[in-house]
């Protein structure tokens, strides 16, 4: 073998040996970490948010800022069916407060959110013939089931009503009063009472003339009464005091000096009346209704006096919604189309000219709107420790009469468990036309911590003057 | 003599020499045996063994009971995966519930408790953040929880920082190489962490050299009422290599 070849052979052997060693070492490393590993899985890793929830209790009726169920917290502000003020002026009422969440609030406040005043329901037409609420009614009860959204109504408890604001000399209500007109209303009742009535006095006292009244008689039949210098009454053959929602339309149309046409439609169909149904006496001078200027009353009429089939109660007991007055005679087609409306929004359009133009429309779907100012009633609020937080911050609340009006925005001391609301009359003498009026203001009880808050809205109550 | 004869004689001579040598050896052996009796010498290597190193991980959250990748008992190493660790890297377990803007800071100490130097140590967040209601509490609203079950993971801000003090390095929630910002950002949440992938904490992790990780979490100050009473769960896997 040549010497050179021998050297090359030795170099080759050396390189091969080194390579083998390196490969072997490398393999050892792979064995150590290629298959070795250690792991800890923290599957319990979690982060939770707390809850800030509020509850109050009035006369053992609780109101919670959110329902007691999973995934229920959204706005965390609840509309409560209770009211902090007793309906009897001069009385006290206790409101228990409980923080029902897992967080302690940074602040707990009580505030009024609108102007205190006499409560009224809105006429949404341009005439704005709003109605002042009197007696006992409950807002935002379930409405006609035919309406798929915002199905609210006004519940009349059998001694509440609304007197409308506009009367003579406004054109629609001035002498001789409506003579060509239609009345439409949704109603639900199981008993007897008045849906609507017209008298020559704004309150439900002091009237000397009354007619144009629609009621459910003691046997459940719908009755419409007019007084063209004689008693006129049209009654449906069937009863509707079945606890279901019904849509009634009455149309009154003078025909000539001797007759008029009065029709009653129920649920879109003509039920009672015929052409020239009403025979007018000579003295009526062609007017189907009594000649006088007056005011409409919702949930009350004076039909208990003088009509042969009177209601057993002058006031309505049950739910009313979408009461509408048209200064025209609705045709059968228009009545059917009105009955077919499936939402308050479409009904509003229908009575605003799409089907017929009304001159008064009371949806009765919203809460009462305070009619400022809040006269006659004042308020004092004390905590469970006895200290006063309104109208003054002091160890004891002052004796009546308090500072006039109700406008609250106070911090409630921490650890307060209850508040006592006491109303009082500012003036001992209430004008006759204010007696029975509802005075109300919306209260908001709320707590806050960071971006969390909880609220309880009380806007469904009143004090009766 | 021919070459072949000469070779034949050499073969005979070599055979004879071999026989003579063999006889001599036997004779020598017999004589030695006769001389030393039962003496012998042997080496038994009882220390002969080959051992494997260990790669073990320990996690301790906020000074609590450590979690081990394998139990500290003989023959305890099997999968070397501990998936039943009850530690909560985001706070105590169960979490009592936090209010918006309240930062919860957690110190997590990770230690290579084996004998081998690990090439690396890694944090791998789960790819799924789940939301449930808090366990029922007490009182009249014990069941109430928020409705934002789809958005809640995005309302939980998080920072992950290696080390403490001025030399710390922000791994998630801020710029690397410096400590995480004092204020958490809603850009970095449990929802975004779930899509982030693995985060390397360290390389060449020597045995018994603790590595400190700080995890800060808060319910973002913009959380709404709909985020009340909810629990977000995002597991983390701590691993070597």
Of A43, A103, A450, the CB nearest to B83: A43
The answer to whether residue B186 neighbours chain A at the CB level (below 8 Å) is no
Cα dihedral sign, B53-B55-B61-B66 = negative
Summarised one tens digit per residue, pLDDT across range A250-269 is 999 999 999 999 999 999 99
Count other C-beta atoms under 10 Å from residue B5's C-beta. 9
| Helices and strands counted in chain A (H then E) | 3, 33
In chain B, the residue whose alpha carbon lies closest to the alpha carbon of A36 is: B55
A21 pLDDT band, cuts 50/70/90, is: very low
Q: Which residues touch B137 (CB under 8 Å, ≥6 apart)?
A: A51, A102
pLDDT above 50 for B203: yes
Q: Which residues of B fall within a CB distance of 8 Å from A70? A: 133, 143-145
For residue A359, count other CB atoms closer than 10 A to its CB: 22
Nearest-by-CA chain A residue for B108: A42
Q: Which of A29, A30, A41, A450 would you mutate first to test chain B, the one with the most B CBs within 10 A?
A: A41
* Residue entry with tokens 């704004």: A202
Whole-prediction pTM value?
0.75
For residue B183, give the nearest of B155, B153, B157 by alpha carbon: B157
The packing angle between helices A332-339 and A344-351, to 10°, is: 160
Look at residues A70, A101, A65, A110 and name the one whose alpha carbon lies nearest to residue A454.
A65
Contact status, residue A292 vs residue A175, Cβ threshold 8 Å = yes
Tokens coding B51: 């051992």
A177-186, B33-42, B127-136: which has the highest mean pLDDT?
A177-186
Average pLDDT over residues B172-195: 97
For the stretch A38-55, pLDDT in tens is 999 999 899 999 999 999
**What average pLDDT does chain A have?**
89
Indicate yes or no: CB of A68 within 8 angstroms of CB of B141.
yes
- Parallel/antiparallel/unpaired status of strands A452-458 and A77-80: parallel
CA end-to-end span of chain A = 133
Measure A451 CA to nearest chain B CA, in Å: 6
Contacts of B153 in chain A (CB under 8 A): none
Residues 74-133 of B with CB under 8 A from A: 80-91, 93-102, 104, 112, 114, 116, 118-119, 133
Residue A122, number of CB atoms within 10 A of its CB: 17
Which of B213, B184, B214 is CA-nearest to residue B100? B184
By CB atoms closer than 10 A (0-12, 13-18, 19+), residue A463 is buried
What span, in angstroms and rounded, lies between the C-alpha atoms of A134 and A132?
6
CB atoms A41 and B82 under 8 Å: yes
| Yes or no, beta carbons of A103 and B99 under 8 Å apart | yes
CA distance B98 to chain A (A): 5
Contact (CB, 8 A) for A211 and A290: yes
Q: Which of A233-237, B88-92, B126-130 has the lowest mean pLDDT?
A: B88-92
Tell me whether residues A42 and B145 touch, CB distance under 8 A. Answer: no
Return all residues near B221 (Cβ < 8 A) that are at least 6 apart. A450, A451, B100, B101
Q: What are the pLDDT digits (tens) for B133-176?
A: 876 677 788 899 999 999 999 999 999 999 999 999 999 999 99
Q: What chain B residue is nearest to A455 in terms of C-alpha separation?
A: B225
Nearest by Cα to B212 from B179, B175, B187:
B179
- A22 — pLDDT class (breaks 50, 70, 90): very low
- Taking 80 as the threshold, does the pLDDT of residue A26 lie above it? no
Q: Determine, for residues A41 and B89 on separate chains, whether the beta-carbon distance falls below 8 Å.
A: no
Rounded Cα–Cα distance for residues B16 and B156 (Å): 100
Pairwise CB contact (< 8 Å): A71 & B146: yes
User: Using the beta-carbon criterion (under 8 Å), do B82 and A39 form an inter-chain contact?
Assistant: yes
Residue A58 neighbours by CB under 8 Å, 6+ apart: A82, A83, A84, A93, A94, A95, A96
Cβ contact, residue pair B81, A52, below 8 Å: no
pLDDT of B7 over the 70 cut: no
User: What confidence score (pLDDT) does residue A373 get?
Assistant: 60
Cβ distance A40 to B152 less than 8 Å, yes or no, reads no
Q: Which two tokens stand for residue A235?
A: 């009654």
Query: What backbone torsions phi and psi does residue A217 show, to the nearest 5 degrees?
Result: -80, -175
Residue A431 to residue A465: CA distance in whole angstroms: 10
Tell me the residues of chain B between 122 and 161 that have a Cβ less than 8 Å away from chain A: 133-134, 137, 139-147, 149, 152, 155-156
Q: State residue A217's pLDDT score.
A: 98
Q: Which of A53, A68, A451 sits opposite B221 (nearest CB)?
A: A451
Testing the interface with A: which of B87, B141, B159 to mutate, by most A Cβ within 10 A? B141
Residues of chain A contacting residue B225, judged by C-beta atoms under 8 Å apart: 52, 66, 73-76, 452-454
CA dihedral B152, B157, B161, B164 (to 10 degrees): -120
Size of interface A-B (CB pairs under 8 A): 237
ipTM above 0.90, yes or no: no
pLDDT tens digits, residue range B89-127?
999 877 788 999 999 999 999 999 999 999 999 999 999
Structure tokens at A18: 């080194």
Q: Write down the pLDDT at residue A32.
A: 43
State how far the Cα of B34 lies from the Cα of B38, in Å rounded to an integer: 10
In this complex, the residue of B94, B137, B225 whose CB is nearest that of residue A76 is B225
Residue A112: name the closest of A462, A457, A461 by CA: A457
Residue among A324, A299, A368, A462 at smallest CA distance from A120: A368
**Residue A462's pLDDT band (boundaries 50, 70, 90)?**
confident
Nearest CA in chain B to A32: B53
Sign of the C-alpha dihedral computed for residues A313, A243, A352 and A336 taken in this order: negative
**Average of per-residue pLDDT across A5-27:** 42
B98, B124, B144, best to mutate vs chain A, most A CBs in 10 Å: B144
- For residue range A90-109, what is the model confidence (pLDDT) as tens digits? 899 999 999 999 888 999 99
Ranges A149-153, A324-328, B16-20: which has the least confidence: B16-20
Q: Which of A412, A383, A450, A413 is nearest to A103 (CA)?
A: A450
Confidence at residue A148, expressed as pLDDT on a 0 to 100 scale: 84
pLDDT at A2 over 60: no
Pairing status of strand A38-42 against strand B81-82: parallel
Question: So what's the pLDDT on residue B209?
Answer: 95
Query: How many Cβ atoms are within 10 Å of A201's Cβ, its own excluded?
Result: 18
Q: Across the interface, do B147 and A71 touch by the CB < 8 Å criterion?
A: yes
| Whole-number percent of chain B with pLDDT over 70 | 84
Beta bridge partners of A263: A251
Chain segment A300-320, per-residue pLDDT in tens: 999 999 999 999 999 999 999
Nearest to A49 among B61, B140, B223 (CB): B223
Find, in chain A, the residue whose alpha carbon is nearest to that of B226. A74
For B105, phi and psi rounded to 5 degrees?
A: -105, 130
The closest alpha carbon to B156, from B62, B222, B85, B93, belongs to B222
How far does the CA of residue A39 sit from the closest CA of chain B (Å)? 4
Question: pLDDT tens digits for A407-422?
Answer: 899 999 989 999 999 9
Contacts of A69 in chain B (CB under 8 A): 143-144
Instruction: Please check whether residue B226 touches A, CB under 8 A.
Output: yes
Tokens of B91: 């706070």
CB contact under 8 A, B137 and A102: yes
Q: Do B228 and A50 touch (CB under 8 A)?
A: yes
Q: How far apart are CA B179 and CA A444, in angstroms?
A: 45
Q: What is the pLDDT of residues B17-76, one digit of tens each?
A: 566 555 555 544 444 444 556 788 998 988 899 999 999 999 999 999 999 999 999 999
């Amino acid at each position: 073998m040549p010497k050179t070849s021998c050297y090359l052979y030795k170099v080759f052997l050396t390189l091969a040996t080194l390579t083998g060693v390196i490969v072997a070492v490398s393999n050892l490393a792979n064995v150590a970490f290629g298959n070795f590993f250690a792991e800890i899985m923290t599957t319990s890793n979690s982060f939770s948010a707390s809850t800030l929830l509020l509850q109050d209790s009035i006369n053992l009726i609780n109101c919670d800022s959110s329902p007691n169920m999973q995934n229920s917290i959204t706005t965390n502000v609840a509309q409560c069916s209770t009211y902090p003020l007793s309906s009897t002026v001069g009385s006290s009422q206790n409101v228990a407060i409980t923080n029902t969440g897992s967080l302690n609030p940074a602040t707990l406040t009580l505030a009024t959110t609108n102007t205190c005043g006499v409560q009224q329901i809105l006429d949404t037409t341009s005439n704005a013939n709003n109605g002042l609420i009197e007696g006992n009614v409950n807002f935002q009860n379930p409405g006609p089931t035919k309406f798929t959204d915002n199905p609210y109504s006004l519940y009349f408890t059998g001694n509440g009503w609304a007197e409308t604001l506009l009367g003579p000399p406004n054109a629609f209500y001035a002498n001789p009063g409506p003579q060509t007109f239609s009345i439409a209303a949704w109603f639900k009742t199981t008993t007897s009472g008045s849906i609507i009535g017209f008298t020559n006095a704004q309150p439900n006292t002091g009237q000397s003339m009354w007619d144009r009244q629609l009621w459910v008689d003691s046997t459940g039949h719908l009755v419409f009464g007019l007084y063209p210098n004689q008693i006129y009454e049209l009654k449906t053959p069937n009863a509707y005091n079945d606890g279901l929602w019904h849509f009634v339309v009455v149309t009154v149309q003078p025909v000539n000096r001797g007759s008029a046409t009065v029709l009653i439609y129920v649920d879109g169909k003509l039920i009672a009346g015929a052409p020239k149904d009403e025979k007018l006496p000579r003295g009526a001078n062609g007017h189907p209704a009594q000649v006088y200027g007056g005011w409409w009353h919702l949930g009350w009429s004076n039909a208990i006096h003088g009509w042969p089939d009177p209601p057993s109660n002058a006031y309505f007991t049950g739910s009313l919604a979408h009461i509408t007055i048209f200064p025209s005679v609705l045709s059968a087609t228009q009545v059917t189309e009105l009955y077919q409306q499936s939402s308050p929004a479409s009904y509003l359009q229908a009575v605003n000219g799409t089907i017929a133009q009304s001159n008064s429309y009371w949806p009765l779907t919203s809460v009462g709107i305070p009619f400022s100012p809040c006269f006659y009633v004042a308020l004092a609020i004390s905590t469970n420790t006895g200290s006063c937080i309104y109208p003054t911050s002091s160890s004891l609340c002052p004796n009546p009469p308090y500072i006039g009006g109700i406008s609250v925005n106070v911090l409630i001391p921490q650890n307060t468990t209850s508040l006592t609301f006491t109303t009082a009359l500012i003036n001992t003498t209430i004008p006759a036309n204010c007696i029975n009026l509802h005075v109300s203001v919306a209260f908001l009880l709320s707590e806050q911590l960071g971006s969390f808050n909880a609220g309880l809205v009380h806007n469904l109550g009143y004090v009766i003057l | 003599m021919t070459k072949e004869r000469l070779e034949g004689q050499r073969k005979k001579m070599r055979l004879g020499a071999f026989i003579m040598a063999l006889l001599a050896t036997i004779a020598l052996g017999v004589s030695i045996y006769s001389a030393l009796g039962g003496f012998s010498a042997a080496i038994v290597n009882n220390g002969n063994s080959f051992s494997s190193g260990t790669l073990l991980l320990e996690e301790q959250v906020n000074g609590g009971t450590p979690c081990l990748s394998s139990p500290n008992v003989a023959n305890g190493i099997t999968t070397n995966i501990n998936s039943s660790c009850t530690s909560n890297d985001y706070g105590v377990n169960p979490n009592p519930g936090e209010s918006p803007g309240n930062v919860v800071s957690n110190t997590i100490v990770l230690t290579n408790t084996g004998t081998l130097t690990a090439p690396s140590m890694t944090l791998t967040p789960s790819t799924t953040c789940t939301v449930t209601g808090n366990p029922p509490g007490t009182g009249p609203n014990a069941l109430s929880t928020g409705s934002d079950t789809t958005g809640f993971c995005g309302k939980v801000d998080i920072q992950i920082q290696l080390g403490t003090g001025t030399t710390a390095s922000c791994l998630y929630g801020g710029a690397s190489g410096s400590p995480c910002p004092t204020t958490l950002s809603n850009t970095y949440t449990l929802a975004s962490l779930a899509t982030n992938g693995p985060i390397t904490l360290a390389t060449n992790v020597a045995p018994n050299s603790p590595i400190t990780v700080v995890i800060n979490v808060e319910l973002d100050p913009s959380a709404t009422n709909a985020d009340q009473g909810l629990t977000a769960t995002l597991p983390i896997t701590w691993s070597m290599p």
